[in-house]
Each structure stands twice: as structure tokens, then as C-alpha cells.
Amino acid sequence: MTTHLYFIRHARSVWNDVGRWQGQADPPLGESGVAQARRLAERLRSGPPIDHLYASDLQRASATASLVAEATGLTLTLDPIWRERRVGEWEGLTTEEIAARYPEAWASRLRGPLEAPGGETLAEVMQRATEACAGLLERHPDQSVAVVSHGGMILTALVHLLGLGPSGFGLLVGGRNTAISHVIVEDGHARLDRLNDYAHLELPLPA
């Protein structure tokens, strides 16, 4: 039994455009993000068949997935379990502002997993990713599923599925907006087939 999981980061939001940390804040897509989402949608329309489409209910993910659903004819299911990791007091700040206002917490990323004040702990987001992945595998065995989510949540799902442990957060990197990561789960064993594939962004948008 083989299940294909495609994890796709949302297109660029207006906060991505100005370098603000988002967490579970809910800024919309920017103009560049809409263009990215259309390129993603065209790629998925003409690519390997996908049976089910899920997305975070935050609008930068749901709007990206809506364009995919429109292009592919898939029914979109929104699920808050796929939201980005909550980053508490850092939401809405730039990296420079975080480093200046929270130097000790920011420096801690060099010693272990990043923990934002007032945000979701690593254990909490890992538990959420574990439940989310288990739900997909239980509901859709032997099928192909695409999930439009967020960089931190996708990274956590990959670390979980591949059994990497906390060190995995330093081994994998978050992808560009609309990048696709593909995990094949065969008889309970997961392997990474593709990581952060954004080839569609290098192609012109069809007329």
C-alpha cells in the first residue's frame, strides 16, 4: 500500500513581501503571491493525479489552495490543524526587530529548537503535525494527497514522518513559497522523494 503526500507551502503574502513573521496571524496573498499560486495550479493541473486537496484555513494557504482547486477540479477541505506554528510575541515583527527586542530567545536557536515567547512549543507543534499526518494516512490509504500549509508546519511534518527527531530541524530547510515536498509512505515506511521543488516558478505563466 503506497500513499503519496505532497506538502506545499503557501504563496507569498503581503507580510512575506515585507519580511514580517506571520505565525497564526492572517495576512492575505500579495500580487506576487497570486501569480505564484497560478503557476503552482497549472503545474498541479498537468502533473501526476491528486485525489484529495487540503489546506490550512489561514487565508494565505486557503487562497493558494483555492486556485489549485479551481484548476484541478478537486474539492478543497480546510483544516486548522495545518495552520502555521504560533509564534506569540513575534507575530508581525521582522527578523531584525525580533533579534533586537528578544536577543536571548533569538540566540537560543543556535543551541536547539527555536522557542518564541508566548508561542507554540516544539512539543505542541510536533503533536499537532503527528495527528495531522496520521489523519491523512488513515483517511486516504493508497491515494495521493496534497496539503497547502506553511513552512514551519511542513518542516515539522517532514521531521515527524521521516523519524528525524529534533536534530531534523537543523538538517532540513524551509522551502520557497509554493515549493512542493513529496513523501512516499509505503507499508508504513516514509521516504522523501522531493524537497522544496519550485521549478514552476521558473516557467512563464500560460496565457
Instruction: Output the CA torsion sign for 92, 172, 141, 147.
Output: positive
> Identity (one letter) of the amino acid at 13?
S
Per-residue CA distances from 36 to 42, 73, 123 (Å): 10, 19, 32
Task: Please name every residue paired with 54 in a beta bridge, in sequence order, or none if there are none.
Answer: 77, 147
Known catalytic membership, residue 189 = no
Say if CB 179 and CB 196 are below 8 A apart.
Answer: yes
Q: Are 131 and 81 in contact (CB under 8 A)?
A: yes
- Name the amino acid, one letter, at 1: M
Helix (H) or strand (E) holding 74: none
Clarify whether 200 is annotated catalytic: no
User: Which residues on neighbouring strands pair with residue 77, listed in sequence order?
Assistant: 54
Active-site residue, from 4, 10, 160, 200: 10
Q: Which is the catalytic residue, given 150, 160, 182, 200?
A: 150
**What are the residue ranges of helices labelled H in the chain?**
14-18, 31-46, 59-72, 95-101, 103-107, 122-139, 151-161, 168-171
Name the residues annotated as catalytic: 10, 150
